[in-house]
Chains A and B, each alone.
Chain A
Amino acid sequence: MNNAPRLGAGNEAPRPEATPDEPRSLKWRLLSSMAAGFALLLLLMSVLLWNYSRAASNRTFDLLLAGAALAMLERVSFNADGPTVDLPQSAMDILALASDDRVVYRVFAPAYGEITGTPDLPLPAADPSAAPVFYNDKLNEGFRFIVQGRQITSAAGRDWVFVQIGQTLNARREQQGTLFLYGMAGLAGVSLIGLGFVWLAIRTSLAPLGTIAASLLARNPRDLSPIEGAPPQEISDLFRAINGFIAQLRRSRALTESFIADVAHQTRTSLSAVQGQLALAVDADSPEAMRARLVKAEAQGNKTVHLTNQLLANAMVIHRSDQAQLDPMELRPLVRDTLAELLRDRRLREITISYEDAQLPDGVGRIRGDAISIREALRNLIDNAIRHGGPENSILIELDGDTRSIRLTVSDGGPGIAPADRARATERFTSINRDTAGSGLGLAIVRSVAEGHDAKLELGASQLGGLRASLIFPRLAALLAALLLTPIAAKASELTIFGATDRAAIEPVLDAFEAKVPGWTISYREFQTVDLYDAVLAGEGPPDVVISSAMDLQVDLVNRGMAQRFVLPEDSQPPDWARWRDELYGFTFEPAAILYNKRILSREDLPNSHRDLSSFIRDHEAELKGRVGGYDLRRSGIGYLYATQDLIQSVQAQRLFEVLGRASARVYLGTAEMTRATGSGEIALALNVISSYAMALVPDHPDVGVHFLSDYNLVMSRTAFVPKTARAPAMAARFVAFLLSPEGQSLIDRDTPLIPIAAAGAPLTDSARLLRASSGSFLPIRLGPGLLTFLDRLKREEVLRSWDAAMAGNGN
């Protein structure tokens, strides 16, 4: 309702008033933001000022307390009964300088008790001494206290006497308030003056905008000359933009005017010719003469039709280059489709047509373009090639390019255009060869399309003998193309994974992922955990994904800032303990277990807690000598992880080291070896093995039993991260997401010896069922900086030293 009449009443209100819907003026924006700034500043200052005035008023009034205390202490003396004080008037006088405040005081000596004043006033936290101690405390209202002491010589020796004085806070508060108010008033005044200056500054700096507006308003609509003036730097862009716009308007008006003139001339001339032939036909004496005239009229009519079509095409192309937005597009299908359509033209039947796009780099011809205009240009180039190509014509269409441009070329077998005439050939209504002339617009249309695409039109001599016309488009930035066409970008189609997991174990997952992403292959390199850590630190590869069971080493790599952040979908998130910083994700659930040879040991004999475990080995030292197995802590990252996590859990771990040493424990690098050794009876017992692996091997080693303790069993999770140096980070993240997706997890459950971390669904395998049964005692190792403690150099040396010592002390 408000706007409608105003728009109509242009004469009365040349500049519409600001309505509530319109954005506020620049002045108001600047001023209000400055005011908000000042207000914020004042708020900050007030906090500072408040604290400052409290400190200042305390300082002032503490002097009163100190003076009074000194005065009192001076009057403390000794008599026969002990210390006494002759309370000086001056002390109270000094205190009375703060006239509205209540005072309490007390003199006391530790050796003699209260001497005078209000007994049992609150004492400070610190022991009182000869130096004054100030503090606040509450009686029935807030008080400020001083306690100060002095040693006095008595008959028995030297004794301490203390004076304590308290004063309410009224004077201080008043002083604080006054200081604060004065300070704030000053600051507010200065701020207001500052805002005044800001207002002035805003007004003067925005004045040039008003000048521009006035000069544009005063302008006659036909006046398309640039605005004159020297604008300040900040609005020179606006100034240039306005002038650029005016120039564009001027150019486009000039074009329109010349186009209308050309069209009027050309169509009138052509129509006159038709009309003339028809008039002659009407007046013809004989039917033969009339027929001859009509044939000519028809030919002229066809020419007029062609001319009109070309004029409209030209107008359309120019209009589109002004209006149409250029979209990213693939040139190859457009060219192929256009050619397939043009080929139906019966004029092309006797002509040899070839198309060639094998030279196109990567087979991709992405540009920013307008399909309709480009189709029109290609149609005109081919029309020219047909028209001027002579009787034994052949036409070659090529699409090729380099890293920066895409070239669309049409060559024909006609006489071509002499170099001197080439520049002229692209002008409107210019035909170089009168015998084969068309409308004289073909190349002009092509040139307009080129101009609208920031492309170049090049005319040259073709190898077929005729004209070679090329449109050279700037190629769409290679990066963008790679993003849009990831599956086609051939070079990055290998995903490199560095893993500390047996290839055989993880292969089914790799195969399934490969099947999901056609065109990609996975290259998997297998490492020991510590070697993997070293390789990644040394910058080998670079891998796209790093997978390891040594959680601490993985955390260390991530803690060094080597991993990229990526977020997994909602249904693929592992539990809290198995992810860190959105960079490191655990995807398996692998408890440590004890393996034993069923023929040597029976389940009933086995210990049930870590404490019993040490005792068990010690008690059976003779039978178990050389027949207990464990990880080599120096070379196996997972072994070290389990051992140090045991150290955190209980002191038993340290004892276990010694017991293992005495029992001449044997060390191994991996679970598989330990399982085999246990199965063959070479060892009777293996500690802290990865149960998932072991259980997968149990069918081959029927004598091997898996045993869990009842106090706790550590749980490790195999973790994956994507290094910042990854060459295919998006695909790498997709792979990790796949590992954790419901599909990937059930695949891990079904087809690999690993145990998935997601508890969803029924357990499919025996091992998973066994794990479920003893799930209460599982203690997952949490990913996070906590795992870094034992990676500390000194700490690690200490652990390994005590392990070495234990192992060396075994008497071998």
Chain B
Amino acid sequence: MRMLLVEDNDELAETVLDRLRHEGHSVDREADGEEANALLRHARFDIILLDINLPGRSGYEVLRSMRSRGDSTPVIVLTARSEIDDRVVGLDAGADDYMVKPVDFRELSARCRVLARRRAGASSNLFTAGTLRFDRAAKLAFVSDKPIELRAKELQLLEVMIDNLGRMLTKEEVADKLYTFRESPSLNAVEQLVTRLRRKLEGTPLVIKTARGLGYLPYVSDDE
């Protein structure tokens, strides 16, 4: 993956760069907010790791001008502040994730993978996770190269889950995405649908975790 690290502390930047390059990613680094902003105007990356306290231009501003340009590249904000306020994750700035320093490298890699997968799932027609393969255009899912039979709603649900990897979805949100206004589904129907889909996905690394009273969290288990 092609990544950009925007971080002004050289020591920290060096360790992150080493780690990510070691994992096989190609990583660029900027130390200055202004320069990062200029770079982002013409260069494309798969993921951006963005510090908040930067010389030149703060991370928030870099992020905001990216989003106002329509650039939807996934961004993980790195911050040393422990009081995370809504400016970071909220719609305002539009970060996809954030981590508080000091950052655990394994966690950072995992989060990058989740974002990359979510982006790939949404932008390309083919989604692969371990034994699971899903062809969005053909509306076909395969486990270990064997097609599995999915009803229309189950297909839709699978799509929703893949688009929201690593995100909490409430039951109501799932219902909203699956059913039209006129169908007015019961939340029970959603539960049964999830149970059925989960059974058909058994053996694949795509997990739909249920948190009772909160909703569903889809994730890919071999992203550890």
Contact = CB atoms under 8 A, between A and B. Distances in A.
A531 interface: no
A313 B82 contact: yes
Contacts of A353: 211-212, 214
Interface stretch (B122-130, B138-146, B216-224): B216-224
B83 A336 contact: no
B214 A343 contact: yes
B85 interface: yes
A490 interface: no
A355 B214 contact: yes
26 contacts: A302-B104, A309-B100, A336-B214, A339-B168, A339-B211, A340-B214, A341-B89, A341-B168, A343-B168, A343-B209, A343-B214, A343-B217, A344-B166, A344-B168, A346-B110, A349-B207, A349-B209, A349-B219, A349-B221, A354-B211, A354-B212, A354-B213, A355-B211, A356-B212, A356-B213, A372-B85
Contacts of A341: 89, 168
Interface of B: 82-83, 85, 89, 100, 102, 104, 107, 110, 166, 168, 207, 209, 211-215, 217, 219, 221, 224
B30 to A, nearest CB: 26
B199 to A, nearest CB: 19
A316 B82 contact: yes
Contacts of A336: 214
Contact of B214 (A305, A312, A339, A344): A339
Interface string A260-297: 00000000000000000000000000000000000000
Contacts of B107: 346
Nearest to A398: B213
Nearest to A339: B214
B82 A312 contact: yes
A357 interface: yes
Q: Which residue, B104, B212, B224, has most C-beta atoms of chain A within 10 A? A: B212
B106 to A, nearest CB: 9
Nearest to B85: A372
A-B residue pairs, 10 tightest by C-beta: A355-B213, A340-B168, A354-B212, A353-B211, A355-B214, A305-B102, A372-B83, A356-B213, A343-B217, A354-B213
Interface in A322-340: 336, 339-340
Contacts of A357: 213
B221 A316 contact: no
Nearest to B217: A343
Q: Which residue, B82, B102, B211, has most C-beta atoms of chain A within 10 A? A: B211
Nearest to A353: B211
Contacts of A316: 82-83
Interface residues of A, number: 22
Contacts of B214: 336, 339-340, 343, 353-355
A350 to B, nearest CB: 10
A165 B89 CA distance: 103
Contacts of A352: 212
B83 to A, nearest CB: 5
A344 B76 CA distance: 14
Nearest to B223: A346
B18 to A, nearest CB: 15
Nearest to A335: B214
Nearest to B221: A349
Interface of A: 302, 305, 309, 312-313, 316, 336, 339-341, 343-344, 346, 349, 352-357, 372, 397
Contacts of B219: 349
A714 B211 CA distance: 71
Nearest to B111: A344
Contacts of A349: 207, 209, 219, 221
Contacts of A339: 168, 211, 214
A411 to B, nearest CB: 13
A316 B107 CA distance: 25
A341 B96 CA distance: 12
Contact of B82 (A305, A309, A340, A397): A309
Contacts of B211: 339, 343, 353-355
Given A341-B168, A344-B217, 16 more contacts: A302-B104, A313-B82, A316-B83, A336-B214, A340-B168, A340-B214, A341-B89, A343-B168, A346-B110, A349-B221, A353-B214, A354-B211, A355-B213, A357-B213, A372-B83, A372-B85
A352 B177 CA distance: 25
A398 to B, nearest CB: 9
Nearest to B97: A344
A737 B215 CA distance: 43
A304 to B, nearest CB: 10
Nearest to B102: A305
Contacts of A340: 168, 214-215
B204 to A, nearest CB: 15
Nearest to B211: A353
A708 B224 CA distance: 90
Contacts of B209: 343, 349
Q: Which residue, B85, B89, B102, has most C-beta atoms of chain A within 10 A? A: B102
Nearest to A302: B104
A370 to B, nearest CB: 10
Nearest to B213: A355
A341 B217 CA distance: 11
Nearest to A336: B214
Nearest to A358: B213
A346 B99 CA distance: 14
Given A346-B224, A349-B221, A372-B83, A355 B166 contact: no
Contacts of A346: 107, 110, 224
A372 B213 CA distance: 23
A309 B100 CA distance: 10
B119 to A, nearest CB: 17
B208 to A, nearest CB: 12
B139 to A, nearest CB: 29
A397 B213 CA distance: 9
Nearest to B110: A346
Q: Which residue, B83, B104, B215, B219, has most C-beta atoms of chain A within 10 A? A: B83
A780 to B, nearest CB: 50
A381 to B, nearest CB: 16
Nearest to A373: B83
B179 to A, nearest CB: 22
A592 B23 CA distance: 92
Q: Which residue, A302, A344, A349, has most C-beta atoms of chain B within 10 A? A: A344
Nearest to B207: A349
A47 B168 CA distance: 82
Contacts of A344: 166, 168, 217
Nearest to B89: A341
Contacts of A313: 82
A261 to B, nearest CB: 22
Contacts of B166: 344
A367 B209 CA distance: 31
B13 to A, nearest CB: 18
Contacts of B85: 372
A372 B168 CA distance: 21
B220 to A, nearest CB: 11
A312 B82 CA distance: 8
Nearest to B104: A302
Contacts of A302: 104
A309 B99 CA distance: 13
B76 to A, nearest CB: 12
A312 B79 CA distance: 14
A343 B214 CA distance: 10
